């Protein structure tokens, strides 16, 4: 990430968090690019988009357009209104009798509450749903995921890669209960927005959009990608892969440089999670999660007296050395 990107990301995310505003809308092609990998999961299922403005949301549009193609049973989308009663929009059958089920068959019903995903009304819909798909507010990500897990729901949702380092989210990743989807091209999303200044450099700027780097998809639906080994090319040597000052693990700066032949513990960047296959690697912990990784001493990995940015601690399962943790 260069300094302009960091500035853009930080300013916009800080502002979104502070104002609890989060009004970024996902583009239809981005939804299509991700969801094409999940087609088989949707047949006969009830899909719920619970953080959407259905009249603007491309999630609603995507599922309405593809209702028959995916073989959906039902689509439910709730709208959120701060401190006001809201509504839900649903598609279930060929209401207008034109022989197709699509956007023209939507029906609107008022809600008695605000459409908050935590409200009793929305939880009742959640219980009926099989798969939740949306871009929830980044500021409520922890709580949002916790609710999906509590109600044992399948999901495909957008979040920021920094949330990988949230203790609760990391634990779910480490336990192979959630993982990263295919993601956005170049690791950055252009969201439709009306509120924020886009600090993206000229080449990356798109009118009416905001560029947020580090945005990705989180899911607990099976996808092929998660079982594909990362191709490794580099071989281990002590100069390129120094050990941390405060732990017996080597530092790897770039995921693509993970050595093919190192059978010990490695600290790899968080972006590694995009390439993680549980058959190839075991996740041992996150640098400063001492509970997860009891022998860890210190706040994070230090290299030559300097702290290193967050690292996921892994080992290659296909190499056999037993590691005593």
Ligand X SMILES: C[S@@+](CC[C@H](N)C(=O)[O-])C[C@H]1O[C@@H](n2cnc3c(N)ncnc32)[C@H](O)[C@@H]1O
Residues in the site for ligand X, rule: CB under 6 A? 22-26, 51-53, 57-59, 80, 115-117, 134-135, 137, 140
Judged by beta carbon, residue 49 or residue 72, the one nearer ligand X is 49
User: Shortest gap between Cβ of 135 and ligand X (angstroms)?
Assistant: 3
Q: Strand, helix or coil at 156? A: strand
The pair phi, psi for residue 257, each rounded to 5°, is -95, 10
Judged by beta carbon, residue 77 or residue 255, the one nearer ligand X is 77
Looking at the DSSP bridge assignments, the partners of residue 313 are 267, 285
Q: What is the C-alpha separation between 32 and 127, in angstroms, rounded?
A: 26
User: Shortest gap between Cβ of 170 and ligand X (angstroms)?
Assistant: 22
The set of residues, in sequence order, having a beta carbon less than 8 Å from that of 306 and lying 6+ positions away, is none
Asked whether the beta carbons of 24 and 141 are under 8 A apart, the reply is: no
- Using alpha carbons only, what angle is made at residue 77 by residues 71 and 82, rounded to the nearest 5 degrees? 170
Judged by beta carbon, residue 217 or residue 262, the one nearer ligand X is 217
Q: What is the C-alpha separation between 227 and 21, in angstroms, rounded?
A: 36
The set of residues, in sequence order, having a beta carbon less than 8 Å from that of 19 and lying 6+ positions away, is none
User: Shortest gap between Cβ of 22 and ligand X (angstroms)?
Assistant: 4
Q: What is the C-alpha separation between 134 and 185, in angstroms, rounded?
A: 18
User: Shortest gap between Cβ of 122 and ligand X (angstroms)?
Assistant: 7
User: Shortest gap between Cβ of 143 and ligand X (angstroms)?
Assistant: 9
User: Shortest gap between Cβ of 114 and ligand X (angstroms)?
Assistant: 8
Judged by beta carbon, residue 54 or residue 285, the one nearer ligand X is 54
Q: What is the C-alpha separation between 81 and 23, in angstroms, rounded?
A: 12
* Strand pairing class (302-303; 306-307): antiparallel
The closest of 248, 309, 257 to 284, measured between CA atoms, is 248
Judged by beta carbon, residue 4 or residue 139, the one nearer ligand X is 139
User: Shortest gap between Cβ of 57 and ligand X (angstroms)?
Assistant: 5
Judged by beta carbon, residue 81 or residue 204, the one nearer ligand X is 81
Judged by beta carbon, residue 114 or residue 255, the one nearer ligand X is 114
DSSP structure string for 226-267: GGSPPP------TTTSPBPSSSS-EE-SSGGG--TT--S-EE
Asked whether the beta carbons of 292 and 286 are under 8 A apart, the reply is: yes
Judged by beta carbon, residue 88 or residue 226, the one nearer ligand X is 88
User: Shortest gap between Cβ of 6 and ligand X (angstroms)?
Assistant: 20
């Amino acid at each position: 990430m260069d300094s302009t990107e960091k500035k853009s990301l930080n300013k916009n995310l800080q502002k979104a968090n502070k104002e609890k505003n989060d009004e970024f809308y996902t583009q239809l092609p981005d939804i299509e690019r991700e969801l094409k990998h999940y087609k088989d999961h949707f047949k006969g299922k009830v899909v719920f988009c619970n953080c959407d403005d259905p009249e603007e949301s491309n999630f609603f549009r995507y599922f309405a357009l593809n209702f028959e193609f995916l073989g959906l049973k039902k689509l439910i989308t709730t709208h959120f209104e701060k401190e006001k009663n809201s509504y839900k929009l649903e598609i279930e059958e060929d209401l207008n009798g034109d022989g197709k089920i699509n956007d023209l068959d939507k029906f609107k019903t008022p809600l008695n509450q605000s459409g908050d995903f935590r409200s009793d009304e929305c939880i009742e819909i959640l219980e009926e749903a099989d798969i939740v798909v949306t871009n929830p507010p980044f500021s409520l990500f922890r709580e949002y995921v916790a609710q999906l897990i509590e109600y044992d729901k399948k999901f495909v949702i957008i979040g920021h890669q920094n949330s990988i380092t949230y203790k609760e989210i990391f634990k779910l990743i480490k336990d192979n209960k959630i993982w990263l989807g295919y993601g956005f091209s170049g690791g950055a999303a252009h969201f439709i927005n009306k509120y924020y200044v886009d600090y993206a450099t000229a080449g990356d700027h798109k009118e009416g959009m905001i560029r947020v780097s580090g945005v990705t998809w989180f899911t607990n639906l099976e996808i092929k990608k998660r079982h594909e080994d990362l191709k490794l090319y580099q071989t281990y040597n002590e100069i390129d892969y120094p050990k941390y000052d405060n732990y017996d693990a080597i530092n790897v700066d770039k995921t693509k440089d993970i050595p093919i032949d190192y059978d010990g513990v490695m600290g790899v960047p968080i972006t590694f999670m995009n390439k993680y296959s549980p058959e190839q690697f075991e996740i041992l912990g996150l640098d400063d999660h001492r509970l997860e990784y009891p022998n860890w001493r210190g706040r994070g990995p230090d290299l030559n007296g300097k702290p290193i940015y967050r690292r996921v601690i892994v080992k290659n399962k296909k190499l056999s050395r037993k590691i005593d943790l």
